[in-house]
Amino acid sequence: MDIFSKCKSYTLAKECREKGIYPYFHALESKQDTVVIMEGARRIMLGSNNYLGLTINQDVIDAAADAVRNLGTGCSGSRFLNGTLKMHLELEAELSSFLHKEGCVTFSTGFQSNLGIISSLVGLGDYVLCDRENHASIYDGCRLSMGKMLRYRHSDMADLEKKLKSIPEKAGILIVTDGVFSMSGDIAKLPEICDLAEKYGARVMVDDAHGLGVIGEGGRGTASHFGLEDKVDVIMGTFSKSLASLGGYMAASEVVCEYVRHNSRPFIFSASMTPATCAAALAALRHLEAHPELPKQLMAITEYARKGFISRGIPIKETDAPIIPIYTNSMENTLIKAKQLYDHGVFVNSVLPPAVAPNECMLRTSYMATLTKELIDEALDIFVEVFAN
C-alpha cells in the first residue's frame, strides 16, 4: 500500500475551496493590528491572539530591529551549546521575577515548550492527567513522555479525583491544564485542582498561553488570578500572544528548571530564540510591567463587545476571558458565516472538529486592548447583518 494514499483520498479542503468557504491561510498584507489589510481588503481583526496590541508598539518594534542590527539574524544553534545570548538570560530572569518563581527556561516556540517540559518531567512509571480540552501541544507532550496519560472530562473535578484515586500510591503524578482554554474561553478550576493535587501528592502545571497579560495581578496569569502562585508548580506560556513575539517559557523552582535544561530533548536539540524574537518579548514584558492597566483595558473592551452581542441577540457563550465564542453548530453553517463576515470586513476564526464535537462548531472571536468601541460597534452591526440571513 502506498503511504501517500491517505493524502490522495483527503478531499475536504478541496471541497471547501470549491464551495468558496475555505477558512484558512488568509494572507495578511499589513501589521497585526485592530484593522488589517487581508487579501487586498480592510478587515476588522476579531481573530487575533495579540491581546495587548503590542505587535505594533514602537518600543517593541525598535527593540527587535536593534537586536538584528547588533546581534544578527540568528543564533545558529541550541541554547545548550552555542546559542545562548546574554539577552536570553535577561528575559528568563525578568520573567521569573514577574511570575514570582525562582527560575525560568525559554523555548523556541510555545508548542515546543509543552513538548519539552512534559516529556522531561513525566518519566517511566509516572502519570500525567490531562483535561480533555487541553491544547494539542499538551497532548503531544504527554505522548512524547514515557509516562501514562489519563484524560479527565473538561473541568470535571469528580472525574479528575476518580482518575487520581486509580493511580498507584508510589507513582509520580503531574496534573496539566490550560489556564484559559483557547477555544471556549473557560478558565480552569485551579483552586479545586490544587486541592486535589495536595490531597493525592500530585504536582500542577498550568499552560498560561492565553492567561499571561490577560488575567491576574498586572496580567500575571491564572495562578495569580486565583492567588495560587505558590500552589502551581510549573507555569508554561508563550511569547506569541500578549508578548507580541515568538517562543515559549517554563517558570518553576530552580531545581526543576535545572533538570529540564539538562534533560529536555526539544530544548537541547533545537535552535534558540533569535535575537529579534527575544528582544521583542523582553520589550513587551517590560511594557506590560510598566502598564499594569493594559489587562483591565482589554477586559473592558471585551465586556463592551459581550454586552453588544447579547443586546443584538447574537448567540454567544459568556466567558471571563477576551475570547467570545459564537454558536454556529454545524460545520457548513460555521464556514458560511465565517466567509460572510470576512466578505463584509470582519475576520474571525472557525472552530471545527476535532477541536470541538461535530455539532458544536463555533466562531471564535478574540479581542485586543487597543480595539475601540467604534470598531466594535461596526463589527457588531456586520454580525447582525450576517446572522439575520
The 10s digit of each residue's pLDDT in 325-373 is 999 999 999 999 999 999 999 999 999 988 888 888 999 999 999 999 9
Cell numbers for 237, please give them.
506560556
**DSSP per position, 84-100:** --HHHHHHHHHHHHHTT
**Residue 210 a catalytic site member:** yes
Q: Which of 108, 119, 137, 182 is catalytic?
A: 182
Is 101 a residue of the active site? no
pLDDT of residue 389: 76
Which secondary structure element, helix H or strand E, spans residue 58, and what is its range? helix 58-71
Report the pLDDT value the prediction gives residue 17, as an integer from 0 to 100: 95
pLDDT, tens digit, 9 for 90 and up, residues 76-91? 999 999 999 999 999 9
The reported pLDDT for the residue numbered 368 is 98
- 135 a catalytic residue: no
DSSP state at residue 316: B
Delineate the domains of the chain, giving CATH numbers in brackets: 5-56+293-387 (3.90.1150.10), 58-290 (3.40.640.10)
Q: Residue 256: what pLDDT?
A: 98
The active-site residue out of 88, 241, 287, 337 is 241
Tell me the average confidence (pLDDT) per consecutive run of 10 residues in the chain, 389 residues long.
Answer: 94 94 95 97 98 98 98 95 96 98 98 98 98 96 97 98 96 98 95 98 98 98 98 98 98 98 96 98 98 98 97 93 95 96 97 86 97 98 93
In the 8-state DSSP scheme, what is residue 242?
T
Quote the DSSP letter at residue 211: T
pLDDT at position 385: 96
Residues found in the chain: 389
Whether residue 153 contacts residue 195, with contact meaning beta carbons closer than 8 Å, is answered with no
pTM for the model: 0.96
Q: Catalytic one among 88, 135, 163, 210?
A: 210
Contact 118, 145 (CB under 8 A): yes
Q: What is the Cβ-side half-sphere exposure of residue 229, based on CA atoms within 13 angstroms?
A: 17
